[in-house]
Amino acid sequence: MFGHKKDTTQTEPLEVKVQSMPKDFYGGANPVVTFRDVKKNVNISGEAPSSLSKAEKVAYGQTTTVGRGSPLHIVNLLMNGKFIVLGGLGLFALFAGGAGVYYWYQSNVGTVNNAPTPPAILTVQTPEITPAPILETTTTPSEIVTGTVPVVSSNSLLEFPSMGLVDSVDLDNDGLSDTAEEIFQTDPALPDTDEDSYSDTHEIFYLYNPAGKEPMRLIEAGTMQEYINPVFNYSLYYPLKWAVGNTKDDYRDILFSTLSGDNIEVLTVDKDINQDFVTWFLQNVPGEQFSNYGSFESRFGAIGYERSDKLVYFIVTPERIYILAYHTSETKIVNYRIVLNMIARSFKLPGASGNMASLEEMISQSATTTVVTSTSAVTSTY
């Protein structure tokens, strides 16, 4: 019982497979390793494969490019250097040949057909022209022969403004430019600033204040002042802010100027007491047409002539002639046509009555004048 127990477990034999080294490796010999060729298929019929070698990319591009397989395709021709050179030479030859034919035709055949074409005959209807009235003068042929009549000078007494000059902007189209409205302190958007049923132009024509009912007279409105010539003693109204200049020591040539460059000139000229104005005009104002002038009278009885565009006035006395003329700045635009009209209307000769017509007389009278604007001549009743 206490003896050593006999082990009855038996161990099975272990089988181990041992692979022996190939004979080619014995003695350090290098074996020959053989690989099999494997062909790779490339899909060139549709979308490009995700990974291609450089040679495969070239083959893919040649297969899918435009014009493949057609040597006359436009793409292949444009890529062909020989075709480009030959095509350029052909176009040059074609152009040179065409130019040669054209010039040959012009120098040979064309001269036959280049006879001058007779001008077209246009039928123009000549408007009826009313002859200017014959002006009677006191000059006789004998006076011209004997030389008693002065010779007409080629130099005018002053520079007269051109006919047809246009006014600057007139917003309310009442005959006062917007720049002139500032001088008279009127509303550029209203033709009747003080709403008294008389237009601004109407009141200025009669030398009344257009900007208010009181004071009534223009000279009392604070926008104008009176100028009295110290030698010839005539007087007139002019804008308060304008400068007055005496260009000669004898006060014969007076300028009323604005900062814009516009000015109004008043020139005094002596006249033979026995010479009528028409004769004097034809002799001394060669650049002007007397047919452009009509009769004129100031509010203080001075008599003379005014040009149809209201830019030139002549005040006539037996001994003297006073010339009033407008001069524009370099812009050639008339800003103050109404101001010259106001100066002429206020012109008063020495010894004349200083009384103006009453308001009742102004209302009863009907004066018609022509206001020349930048676009047309508008006739308005003042």
Bridge partners (DSSP) of residue 227 are 236
How deeply is 239 buried, as exposed, middle or buried, from its count of CB atoms within 10 A (0-12, 13-18, 19+)? buried
Instruction: Note the pLDDT tens digit of each residue in 275-284.
Output: 999 999 999 9
C-beta neighbour count of 51 within 10 angstroms: 6
Contact indicator for 309, 369 with CB cutoff of 8 Å: no
* Stated pTM of the model: 0.57
Residue type, 139: T
Sort residue 245 into left (φ over 0), alpha (ψ -120 to 50) or beta. Answer: beta
Run means of pLDDT, 10 residues per run, the chain, 382 residues = 55 61 59 58 52 62 60 65 77 80 69 47 44 42 36 62 94 93 94 92 94 87 96 96 91 94 95 95 93 96 97 97 96 95 97 67 52 39 40
How deeply is 249 buried, as exposed, middle or buried, from its count of CB atoms within 10 A (0-12, 13-18, 19+)? exposed
Domain boundaries, the chain: 153-381
pLDDT attached to residue 298? 96
**What's the whole-number average pLDDT of the chain?**
76
